[in-house]
């Protein structure tokens, strides 16, 4: 193999790897944004669910108010956030002074996932490229701290 053919082989090999990596990352992004929403099990009764959602959305609002300047930040929610938690979170963020958009319009993209496994409730908030997580018990008790789960660049 000549030097030129080795060079061409390396470039093609690396380009294919980068292309494959890009496709995988884009697929992951598409899955994350479409999974935004509320997924609580049927084992949490409706009266407890309302109280749980209120506690967790209040805690999420306080956290986001600490991380981002309310009067200077707009959060863009996607259309899939029209559930009890999303509506409560949007109302509380508006009350704190955040600008809220129901579509992508140049603000920080905010997605969430609220789910449980009958023992704990997990909230994942993604703001642009940063993902935060917190765990609660099924009564909304939050003795745990927020953690940064993924930080993009």
> What does each C-alpha distance from 99 to 29, 68, 82, 110 come to in angstroms?
24, 12, 17, 12
Q: What is the pLDDT of residues 105-138, one digit of tens each?
A: 899 999 999 888 878 899 999 999 999 999 998 8
pLDDT value of residue 10: 57
pTM, entire model: 0.72
Residues in the chain: 153
Helix axes 46-67, 84-96, angle to 10 degrees: 40
Q: Does the pLDDT at position 77 exceed 80?
A: yes
How large is the average pLDDT for residues 17-30?
Answer: 35
CATH, domain range 37-151: 3.40.50
Is residue 120 within 8 A of residue 36, CB to CB? The reply is: no
The rounded distance, in Å, linking the Cα atoms of 141 and 150 is 24
């Amino acid at each position: 193999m000549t030097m030129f053919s080795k060079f061409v082989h390396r470039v093609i090999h690396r380009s294919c790897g980068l292309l494959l990596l890009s496709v995988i990352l884009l697929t992951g992004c598409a899955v994350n944004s479409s999974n935004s929403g509320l997924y609580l099990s049927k084992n949490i009764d409706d009266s407890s669910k309302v109280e749980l959602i209120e506690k967790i959305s209040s805690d999420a609002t306080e956290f986001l108010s600490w991380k981002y300047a309310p009067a200077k930040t707009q959060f863009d929610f996607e259309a899939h956030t029209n559930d009890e938690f999303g509506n409560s979170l949007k109302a509380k963020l508006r009350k704190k002074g955040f600008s809220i958009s129901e579509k992508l319009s140049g603000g920080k993209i905010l997605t969430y996932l609220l789910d449980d496994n009958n023992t704990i409730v997990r909230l994942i908030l993604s703001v642009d490229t940063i993902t935060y997580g917190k765990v609660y018990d099924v009564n909304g008790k939050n003795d745990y701290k927020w953690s940064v789960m993924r930080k993009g660049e």
